Chain A
Amino acid sequence: DADVTQTPRNRITKTGKRIMLECSQTKGHDRMYWYRQDPGLGLQLIYYSFDVKDINKGEISDGYSVSRQAQAKFSLSLESAIPNQTALYFCATSDSQGRDTQYFGPGTRLTVL
């Protein structure tokens, strides 16, 4: 079983709809992250959480919100999706007690029409 899972893997939605992307991990890591990747570009940090009560904005948080429901779960919401939020979204985890290197989920491909 994968250590970091993301659901859904693919989603097509319409402008204005609310969308939630979910991430779960079985690695026991305390830190979780959401990144966005546009075609041909690198990863941009949207939000990150260092523990259940901690939420921090990344480089591109506008238009997004997150919820850390438990240590193992971190969800990303688009309150009112717009076409330029079409991208690949990755969740990642890291362990602050270890080397703090990040492990990524398989990604969610989101298309906003």
Chain B
Amino acid sequence: GQQLNQSPQSMFIQEGEDVSMNCTSSSIFNTWLWYKQDPGEGPVLLIALYKAGELTSNGRLTAQFGITRKDSFLNISASIPSDVGIYFCAGNNDMRFGAGTRLTVKP
């Protein structure tokens, strides 16, 4: 099946710093999705991308659908403590998720 590689696995940053994480796939995706999971909760959709090259923002979050359709990145600007959590990428071709990026923000 398709492999989704998400990196980095974890990040420890200072409040106010910008964050970048990405996902790559061995196959082409039609849709890239980014989710955030808070402790003890289910993942919540942050951004959905539907077209190659698409760049979409949601507040301090920006995500892009790679031109090759095999990758996507998520940026968080000016991080705050409530950004803490696990961020997952997903492609809806076969409903697979990346392993997640665990973000810790130090005040």
Contacts and interface: CB of A to CB of B under 8 A. Distances in A.
Interface of A: 4, 33, 35, 40-45, 48, 58-59, 90, 92, 94, 99-107
Contacts of A99: 31, 48, 50
A90 B43 contact: yes
A72 B58 CA distance: 30
A45 B48 contact: no
B54 to A, nearest CB: 13
Interface residues of B, number: 24
- Majority secondary structure, B binding face: loop
A44 B99 CA distance: 9
B66 interface: no
B95 A102 contact: yes
Nearest to A105: B42
Interface in B23-55: 31, 33, 35, 40-45, 48, 50
Contact of B92 (A58, A100, A105, A106): A100
Given A104-B42, A104-B43, A41 B99 contact: yes
Contacts of A45: 94-96
Contact of A58 (B41, B95, B99): B95
B38 to A, nearest CB: 11
Contacts of B90: 102
B42 A101 contact: no
